[in-house]
Structure 1
């Protein structure tokens, strides 16, 4: 997300919510408003949250292009970053409802299971996986924080599933995957 000067944000937002909420006299602040980096919003001096998503230039509003490293049984393999610094190759599996990590990944990332869950797998059988939380998962500029993930003890590669990209439109090309904001009809 590009950084926008707090005064610029305040000027733009004040025209949307009324000059009296943020200003007294010409440009003297009543109280300082806080701009937030994670989401595109600010909180005005009265504690009201104001959505600035229409002003922010972030991956939430743009198409993100991810290179395909290779394919495994036709499924694209992409590089996914965990906790801001560990990169793993994972299958971008459009048939997987959940993102799944390997036991080795869980150990390296210090993911401790705190529950378990039963899943229906592709062959129709049910299997139980321990569930832990990953601090963050990033694919290009897309990022999800504190995401619960099943831990597969017998898998040798993780799966990136719909719980990560399910609210995006996906176009899988020969060498690149494009993830775009879902357009409402």
Structure 2
């Protein structure tokens, strides 16, 4: 009987502030009436089973259709690659490792129901290797080295340059940005914007078709129209004046892009001086200028 009255008192307390005031000011008859109030029926085992079943269904549904973390993983990988290009101390490499670690975590979180799930699963091992490399670099100070996948080759003919300096003519300007000539794969020449604000080299769709660029993945990029998803391909080489990069990843622009852009992935190892009719390139102190794509699978 007292247990019943105690439960009834709890029910009145939870009913709100008005019920609380009424209970505090009631007479013994009121208390007796309250004690005779029926107690709420406890949840049955069947109800608990139904709730548990619904919860399990929601968890399973979330795992299948949750937010797709594939593209955020690519963003983290791109950040890791960018930082690694200029990393010069253990702290830099620890930051690179942190970016790869986040990228791996995001890849593992790609929902099973996502069309990117299989691709993400294949990329995890490659990102883990990148993480291991960064951790190794953090433990041991990096030494200057030349990586075959991307190198700076000094010119031998037809350039006004020496071992560390060369110039290229400015063909024209578009909105104040110099337009220069760039050579892809050793023979195809195109007019390109030399944009110091661009992180990566971007080519037009027409250029990609002429160069038969194989798409190896995709990445989100900021354009004049906002953030968009761009295809990424590989070119055998890019030459501007006396500088050459081999096996370079390039972003393929949207259909409305009319002219390509040479970005910092090419000239980051040079100090540039843009004059009236020419651009001067002065190579900085020699260090590794490796550029390797961040790991989307081949198609």
Q: Which of the two has greater helix per residue? A: 2
Q: Which has the higher contact order (CA 8 A, sep 6+)?
A: 1
Under a length normalisation based on structure 1, what TM-score does the superposition of the two structures give?
0.65
Q: Which residue does 1:126 correspond to in 2?
A: 227
Q: Which residue does 1:175 correspond to in 2?
A: 277
- List runs of 5+ in structure 2 lacking aligned partners: 1-144, 147-152, 156-161, 287-299
Partner of 1:94: helix, strand, or coil? coil
Under a length normalisation based on structure 2, what TM-score does the superposition of the two structures give?
0.41
Q: Report matched runs for 1:15-34 at 5 Å.
A: none
Q: Report matched runs for 1:35-114 at 5 Å.
A: 58=154, 61-114=163-216
Report the number of matched residues.
129
Q: Which of the two has greater strand per residue? A: 1
Distance 1:116 1:149 in 2: 10
Distance 1:104 1:58 in 2: 29
Distance 1:92 1:167 in 2: 15
- Cα RMSD (Å) of the superposition? 2.3
- List runs of 5+ in structure 1 lacking aligned partners: 1-49, 52-56
State whether residues 220 and 228 of structure 2, in contact with CA within 8 Å, keep that contact through their aligned partners in structure 1.
Answer: yes
Q: Which residue does 1:33 correspond to in 2?
A: none
Q: Runs in 1 of length 4+ with deviation above 4 angstroms?
A: none
Distance 2:224 2:204 in 1: 18
Q: Which has the larger radius of gyration?
A: 2
